[in-house]
Amino acid sequence: MSALEDMVILDLTHLVPGDLCTMILGDLGADVIKVGAPPDVGGRGAGLGALLTGEEEKKQAAFDALNRNKRSIGLNLKSDKGREIFYQLAQTADVIVEGFRPGVVKRLGVEYEKIKELNPRIIYCSLSGYGQDGPYSGLSGHDVNYISITGALNIIGSSDRPPTVPLNLLADFAGASLHGVIGILAALVARGKTGKGQYVDIAYADGVITLLTWFISNYFARGVKFNRGETWLHGAYPYYCVYEAKDGKYISIGCVEPWFWENLCRALGKEEYIPFCISPEHFLHKPEGEKWKEISSHLKQVFLTKTRDEWFDFLVDKDVPVGKVYTFDEVFQDPQVIHRQMVLEIDHPTLGKVKHPGIAIKLSETPGKVRTLAPIFGEHTEAILCDLGYNKSQIDELRQSNIIG
């Protein structure tokens, strides 16, 4: 049994954050039906899943972890018949997830208010940059814009350089994908109590502000502004930093607690540095005083005397919080990553074993599972329509009319 077994999710998303949101739900057992526009329908992003053909498409799908545990139907929602098919699916679905700019689903005729009339128990989740209302709701944007407006980008990086763009991890994946999953699961729990569905409005930017809660709380309480590159969290202090090793690789040190810093100082034969541990002012400004410069300089030099892996083995033995800075080539060879099953090998009929990132949510009684690899575009269109009661001639007619793909 899976945690979300028998839950049907209609996935209208067309960008990676939406894919990750529904991937997590699919991993936990939900039946996720990916609804995409046929390639000839038009519109931005229409039919992206159908651009590849033949074996190339199958190979890409095999490694497409974001769309594993999903079925695919090509459906033209700009047509009356296409909408009617979607309405039929929605009547028995549990969740709908969409990631269009506010207003698009209403123009398509598949907005929450319409679906709610058909299925009062529906959980309808919208992922959008700034949310469904407010002065910015209609603006276009991407992760870098959302982390800019929430203040996150301004505090990432070094003080002597422009802000550092941290991939698209904050707004896209943590702000939208993970908050979307949380919102959907919370709404499902509420429905179990009330019998009613509800609308889940997730904004990428809102999610980033939630991620910044600890920093914002300190700002409201004491006016702390966390200038970029100047606090211990930025690596400005030697006890929480990254150092280059003898082999050109890097090692991370996280001795925030005084006792861990003491362990490091003793391991390096520098007991005189023990008093120079974390203190409250380190949350506010960069290191001041020649001693801090001396400590930082010494650590930079000493870490150049051994390789990264030699330092890791040596410091682990001394109970020092230490980590190897890995490339992807190294991540999935690590014994901890392998032990936690965060790299999966899945059988494929023609490619043999294909690797996927594992499932982070570990449930003891209803564990997640990769049941199927990602589909090619429209792979399940006919089967899904047959489940709705359509016969072959009706399906052929719909396909010829470009209603389905």
Read off the tokens for 202.
């997730």
Report the DSSP pairing between strands 8-11 and 95-98.
parallel
Single out the catalytic residue among 31, 172, 206, 282: 172
Distance CA 169, CA 182 (A): 17
Single out the catalytic residue among 142, 247, 313, 396: 142
Measure CA of the first residue to CA of the last residue in the chain; give whole Å. 32
Judging by beta carbons within 10 Å of its beta carbon (0-12, 13-18, 19+), is residue 53 exposed, middle or buried?
exposed
C-beta of residue 179 within 8 angstroms of C-beta of residue 210: yes
Number of helices (H), then strands (E), in the chain: 16, 11
Residue identified by tokens 């990916």 is: 34
Residue 142 catalytic?
A: yes
Using DSSP, state whether 186 is helix, strand or coil: helix
Residue 340, H or E segment? none
Read off the tokens for 99.
């990631």
Distance CA 361, CA 368 (A): 7
Residue 11 catalytic?
A: no
Distance CA 231, CA 237 (A): 7
Catalytic residue set: 142, 172
